[in-house]
Amino acid sequence: MQQPKTIYLKDYRPSPFTIDTIDLTVDIHADHSMVTSVMRIEKHKDSVGQKLNLELNGEGMELVGLKFNGEVLPNDRFQVSSDKLVILNVTHDEFTLEIQNKINPAENKALEGFYQSCPQLCTQCEPEGFRRITYFIDRPDVMAKYTTKMIADKKQYPSLLSNGNRIGSGDLPGGRHWAQWQDPFRKPSYLFAMVAGEFDVARDTFTTMKGRKIDLEIYVDKGNLGKTPHAMNSLKQSMKWDEETFGLEYDLDIYMIVAVDSFNMGAMENKGLNIFNSTYTLADEKSATDHDFQGVQGVIGHEYFHNWTGNRVTCRDWFQLTLKEGLTVFRDQEFSSDMLSRAVKRLEDVRLLKDSQFAEDAGPLSHPIRPSSYIEINNFYTRTVYEKGAEVIRMIHTLIGKEKFRKGMDKYFELFDGQAVTTEDFVHAMEVASGKDLSQFRNWYSRPGTPTLKVTSRKEGNEFVLDIEQKYPLPTVKVEDNNVLLMPFKIGLLDKTTKKEEEHLLELKNLKETFRFKVNGDVTPSLNLGFSAPVIVEYPYEVADLIELMSFNKDPYCRYEATQKIYDHVFKAEFYYFKANGKLNPDLTSEFKSAFQNLLKDESIDLSFKSYLLDLPTENGLSQEMIQPDFDAIHTVHGHLRKKLGLEFQDWFLKEHERLSKVSKFELTPKAFGERALKNQCLTYLVASETKAGMEALDKHYGNATNMTEEIHALQLYIASGVELEHDSIQKFYQKWKHDSLVMLKWFSSLAAYSPKKFALERIEKLEKNVLFQKQVPNYLRSLYLQFAKNNLHAFHDDNGAAYRFVAQRICHIDGFNPQVASRAAGAFSLINKLDSKRQTEMKAALKTIMDNKPSRDTFEVVSKYLAQ
């Protein structure tokens, strides 16, 4: 097959044409929608007076009519292809273009552009979906003012919504009606939105800091109104927080959220009309977990914060995606930290980064937060662009301080409000406001891979000396002196006698640096406090040092990291014992038992934090640390270590689980989240002990569960223990929740992620035939195939290659109707460069079947990079 075209950042040029206004009329019918657009177009100042072709993007539509300045355009003045409409030899510097085209939302299974989600119709235009609605210059630096008129059957589609403020509505003959919306702010086409359907609507208001009353509306499927209060409260919290933290006030008269089931992403920040995946909108205590509640709050905040960081100031081109996403992830992280527990939130964000983004950085898809090229931009909605991008913003915040960062944000909006700009423009605003030269810091935007800091220490008289060397992964090992990353690096020096810690903020600017500190006695260094830089730190800690940091360090991240390093040390010792002797080590060292017991007894720790401290490293994380990981051995040793701890400390786990079971009132507070998290963690160790007491605790926990956090955790433990699909726990859950699609997603996910290897693949083949499994809805596809591949490693990576072939076949099928979901599912093969030769051979054979199927651009780009390994 012909290789798709690669697009390069270096080739960026401004559009020779700009669009001042666009008036859309969308006439919706059962089997099609007729779209009429009237655009006022001008030539870019550099193109005035030239004879040029006007190229408009357009896919999956039928051109019906075309007028230039009110007159029908002759056939020899334009050309139409499968992806473009070209107006030939345009001499006018200003003109009006009227286009009429036909689309069919019901047949649009890619879920891009205007499409059907169950009975509703909605849009998804980021990044390049608007070209599936009408012909347009579909790029983010072409910003226009939109007026949208929608016409539809009033009974079938009583709600007709679009961006901005509603300026008119009325009835029409034949039971039809219309509504017209106008957005007073210029925006790129990717922020356009349109929704038609019948909904229940939650309504509220918010009064801004300047006294403006904003109408708030959340549209959900009929019967789901009771699941909206948390989303509405989260929206009001977001609006208030953005005013208080950044002085940013909402700018329209109405803010709407629409929840739909079929959506490729989590949510979309369309101006004034956010369209959400229902998983990030609907929540109540019976059907949603604590993680769901926190997810709803965080995602609603994220999309609302985009109103300024993404909408009012947007991206010049898609290479700048982290300009809006990295910055807005940082903002939503800060929001959630203020709403919940800052320490726990930071741990969750770092865990996600280390488990997912570090792996992305180390794999075939490694790229900088500002990529230099792409084949399909959909593939760059990645952990690197989002989460690592947020860490880069956080480093600027650390380097210049909170007050100057706020001034930098003010300067950013002052300079660039209403414009499409670059990451360079953002850094420039921070420099202007802070007076700090960030020239060297800019290297973060173009450098792929995770840096490693190799740290050694020594004592010289009354000075403690740290030597720090920056090391970079291939292919960037050779770094010139003027191309070194600048980063903040916070450290603490814990006095071994007084247990007091002295903190220092270092700025690393060179490949090798030495730092000296006056000390009164022996100290233990805590490195990268608060995860001040997204790096791997290598330091030759003794276990005794780690135990000291675990016990006395005040920084939550470093305390957690010390605990994880102890677990890692113990796990690897057990792993190599197993590999060398062919049997499991029955013992736990007294040193490790003592350290673990100290954690259990420490009543000063926040309970959510304690549940994290008690959690062993994931099998995923352990696999990433190994070259040619033995997934079966990792799974066996991991389970055995948890079993030994469950047996050794069974009395404590039983007592604590029983104590926490007496908490009856359900609350959405950090304290309540912590109680439920620790209760579940205790149950995990009790079940791992494989004792009668452990299984009795599980049965009691499951039978008495009054919230989804506890109910789904118990179900997952049953599944992991190896019960049959017909087991009462699995079938009881199914019968209880089969009416609720969001809960059934958890059922499918749990079975995919936790089923033992011996029947995992067979079980998944059976599950995909279940009457409730919706084979074209992204949430269901992700719940089964990605959960299996990403979280059931020892089953997916069976060296017979059967699971590789199975997932590859499903990717080929999905790619035929939804390339976005297919390319993300291809991420299942991300560990290919770490595998042993047998697994690599099997995986490459599976990947080649995808290539033989002539995949979409989305899937081709991902799979070709894996095959290049």
Q: Are residues 157 and 290 in the same domain?
A: yes
Q: Which domain holds residue 257?
A: 7-305
According to DSSP H, which parts of 480-555 are helical? 543-552
pLDDT tens-digit readout, 621-642 = 999 889 999 999 999 999 999 9
Per-residue confidence at 664, pLDDT binned at 50, 70, 90? confident
pLDDT value of residue 1: 52
Task: Please report, for the domain that includes residue 370, its CATH number.
Answer: 1.10.390.10
Per-residue confidence at 3, pLDDT binned at 50, 70, 90? confident
Structure tokens at 299: 């995602």
Instruction: For residue 72, list its beta bridge partners.
Output: 67
Sign of CA dihedral 85, 86, 87, 92: positive
Show Cβ contacts of residue 480 under 8 Å, excluding neighbours closer than 6 positions: none
pLDDT value of residue 118: 85
pLDDT tens-digit readout, 244-261 = 999 999 999 999 999 999
Q: How far apart are CA 501 and CA 518, in angstroms?
A: 13
Could you tell me if residue 626 is inside a domain? no
Mean pLDDT on 714-737: 98
Average pLDDT across the chain, whole number: 96
Could you tell me if residue 212 is inside a domain? yes
Could you tell me if residue 799 is inside a domain? no
Could you tell me if residue 844 is inside a domain? no
Per-residue confidence at 474, pLDDT binned at 50, 70, 90? low
Cis omega (within 30 of 0) for bond into 629: no
Q: Are residues 329 and 286 in the same domain?
A: no
pLDDT tens-digit readout, 286-313 = 999 999 999 999 999 999 999 999 999 9
271, 305, 339 — which closes off a domain?
305
Q: Are residues 299 and 330 in the same domain?
A: no
Number of domains in the chain: 2
Count Cβ atoms within 10 A of the Cβ of residue 868 and give its class: 0-12 exposed, 13-18 middle, 19 or more buried: exposed
Q: How far apart are CA 650 and CA 692, in angstroms?
A: 11
Q: Are residues 374 and 285 in the same domain?
A: no
Q: Which of 126, 128, 303, 325 is catalytic?
A: 303
pLDDT higher than threshold 90 for residue 2:
no
Q: Are residues 258 and 390 in the same domain?
A: no
Could you tell me if residue 291 is inside a domain? yes
pLDDT higher than threshold 60 for residue 113:
yes
pLDDT higher than threshold 80 for residue 10:
yes
pLDDT value of residue 476: 47
Q: Are residues 327 and 212 in the same domain?
A: no
Could you tell me if residue 112 is inside a domain? yes
Q: Are residues 14 and 133 in the same domain?
A: yes
Sheet architecture: strand order including 52-57: 52-57, 84-90, 78-80
Q: Are residues 233 and 319 in the same domain?
A: no
Q: Are residues 285 and 345 in the same domain?
A: no
pLDDT tens-digit readout, 564-586 = 999 999 999 999 999 999 999 99
pLDDT tens-digit readout, 82-105 = 999 999 999 999 999 999 999 999
* Alpha-carbon separation of residue 13 from 46, 219, 622, 653 (angstroms): 11, 40, 45, 63
Mean pLDDT on 349-368: 94
Mean pLDDT on 310-331: 98
406, 425, 445 — which closes off a domain?
445
Q: Quick one: which of 229, 239, 234 has its CA closest to 200?
A: 229
Long-range contact pairs involving 616-619 (C-beta distance under 8 Å, separation at least 24): 616/567, 616/571, 616/641, 616/642, 617/564, 617/567, 617/568, 617/571, 618/355, 619/793, 619/794
Tracing tokens 């109104």 back to the chain, one arrives at: 225
* Residues 807, 850 contacting (CB under 8 angstroms): no
Q: Are residues 47 and 172 in the same domain?
A: yes
Per-residue confidence at 477, pLDDT binned at 50, 70, 90? very low
pLDDT value of residue 481: 56
Task: Please report, for the domain that includes residue 56, its CATH number.
Answer: 2.60.40.1730
Q: Are residues 103 and 233 in the same domain?
A: yes
Could you tell me if residue 557 is inside a domain? no
Global pTM value: 0.97
pLDDT value of residue 483: 81
Instruction: For residue 99, list its beta bridge partners.
Output: 37, 66
User: Does the active-site annotation cover 502?
Assistant: no
Cis omega (within 30 of 0) for bond into 617: no
pLDDT value of residue 441: 98
Q: Helices 631-648 & 590-601, crossing angle to 10 degrees?
A: 60
pLDDT value of residue 478: 55
Q: What share of the chain is helix, strand, coil (3-state, %, to 5)?
A: 45, 20, 30
Mean pLDDT on 218-226: 97
Q: Are residues 274 and 295 in the same domain?
A: yes
Could you tell me if residue 41 is inside a domain? yes
270, 305, 340 — which closes off a domain?
305
pLDDT value of residue 581: 97
E-strand stretches of 69-186: 71-72, 78-80, 84-90, 94-103, 113-117, 120-124, 143-153, 159-162, 165-172, 176-182
pLDDT value of residue 83: 96
pLDDT value of residue 453: 98
Show Cβ contacts of residue 778 under 8 Å, excluding neighbours closer than 6 positions: 111, 262, 263, 264, 818, 820, 821
Give the amino acid at 107.
E
